Amino acid sequence: MSSIPSALEITRDIVRMDTRNPPGREVECAHYLGDLLSAAGIEVSYHEFAPERTSLVAVLRGEGGNGKKPLCFGGHIDVVPLGAKEWTVDPFGADIVDGKLFGRGTTDMKAGISSFVHVALKLAAEDRRGSADMVMAICAGEETGCEGSYHLAEIGALGEAGAIVIAEPTSNYPILGHKGALWLKVETEGITSHGSMPEHGDNAIYKAARSVTKLEEFDFNVMPHELLGRSTLNVGTMQGGLNLNSVPDHAEFTIDIRTLPDQSHAEIFSGLEGYLGDENKIARVVDCGGVHTPHTHPWMQEIYAVMERVLGEKIEPRGAPYFTDASALTPAYGRPPTVILGPGEMHMAHQTDEYCPVAHVEQAAEVYEILARSWCGY
């Protein structure tokens, strides 16, 4: 490779690639990044969980010999739809205005991906190798339930990791963890009849309504988490019936549950089945666990020390409201310490006229290089 593209240059290139999910089509972006990395001598493998839904795993090999597991950088290359509100900038133009890089996915989270890819290219260009590997898990399909990262875990494509950096937007502030998401669809069945003779039917909407009302009183019966607070449950949508003058024979509603890292989703699911009863058929839509690393962990304390120098402020324990690919990657790697740390402001994720401050991108690349050199021994 004659010259190493900056993190900002890589970000602008991949923001111009439309990876809206649905439908995703991350294949072009994955191969662009893979070509950059493989040209630098970094091992790259591609993995599709569906046609054109491509994730990649890249490994910058160290010399080994000290038994230290790799440092993993992770994140996703799919982005959310544009939304109904009209953009004032080209959402795939990657234009820079007043120190801000605009475009869908700039904050969430192509700037983070680009920053650690740039660092890998920079380290690969050096004459010597580190003692430990640097692994990159660049995933498709995160926005709809971490499909790409769960697929990588299921097929055994991830290898090993001793620590994980998830490059989601945090304004480059280290975040210790996030809640899990268990999204459910509940269906009820009945018997249709003419609306003037409801006694001959069995109203599925009434069954669903009884269950929804019952869920207002549902208690997880767990203590709040020290950082992430309480588990929550919300009924988000409800629908049923085909016409006004018939007894509906089908209804359904959705439940959004946000869980704490130690909660078992299987136990919650089983508990809800019993709580709602046989009238309800429950199915999982999204099942992503929470993660949390105590701030007292030695590696986290190292990160705190680095970020206090870089940000010029005292670092306090914080959690994130969203889920990330750590839901899949952290358990797949045996639950090593995991930090969420990346460029972009949380409130700009999924917004119209999404942007990432250019300074964040440059700072993230600086931080990732410090962390990679320290862990991998460069």
**CA atoms 167, 173, 179, 184: torsion sign:** negative
Q: Report, in this order, helix, strand and coil percent for the chain, each rounded to 5.
A: 30, 25, 45
pLDDT at residue number 64: 85
Q: What percent of the chain has pLDDT over 70?
A: 99
Strand 53-60 and strand 134-139: the pairing is: antiparallel
Query: In 3D, which of 210, 167, 174 has the Cα closest to residue 77?
Result: 167
Give CA–CA dist 275/290, Å, rounded: 23
Q: Is cis: bond before 23, omega within 30 of 0?
A: yes
In tens, the pLDDT along 343-368 reads 999 999 999 999 999 999 999 999 99
**CA atoms 305, 308, 311, 312: torsion sign:** negative
**CA atoms 298, 317, 324, 10: torsion sign:** negative
Give CA–CA dist 138/120, Å, rounded: 13
pLDDT at residue number 131: 95
pLDDT at residue number 91: 98
Pick out the chain residues at pLDDT < 70. Answer: 1-2
Cα 282 off chain centre by: 24
Beta carbons within 8 Å of 306's beta carbon, 6+ residues apart: 367, 370, 371
Q: Is cis: bond before 248, omega within 30 of 0?
A: no
Q: Which amino acid is at 145?
A: G
pLDDT at residue number 65: 75
**DSSP single-letter state for residue 131:** S
In tens, the pLDDT along 157-214 reads 999 999 999 999 999 999 999 999 999 999 999 999 999 999 999 999 999 999 999 9
Q: Which two tokens stand for residue 192?
A: 């249709």
Cα 222 off chain centre by: 25
Give CA–CA dist 56/241, Å, rounded: 44
Query: In 3D, which of 75, 56, 58 has the Cα closest to residue 344?
Result: 75
Query: In 3D, which of 55, 56, 38 has the Cα closest to residue 1?
Result: 38
pTM of the model: 0.96
Domains of the chain are 7-178+290-376 (3.40.630.10), 180-288 (3.30.70.360)
Longest CA pairwise span in the chain (Å):
83
pLDDT at residue number 321: 83
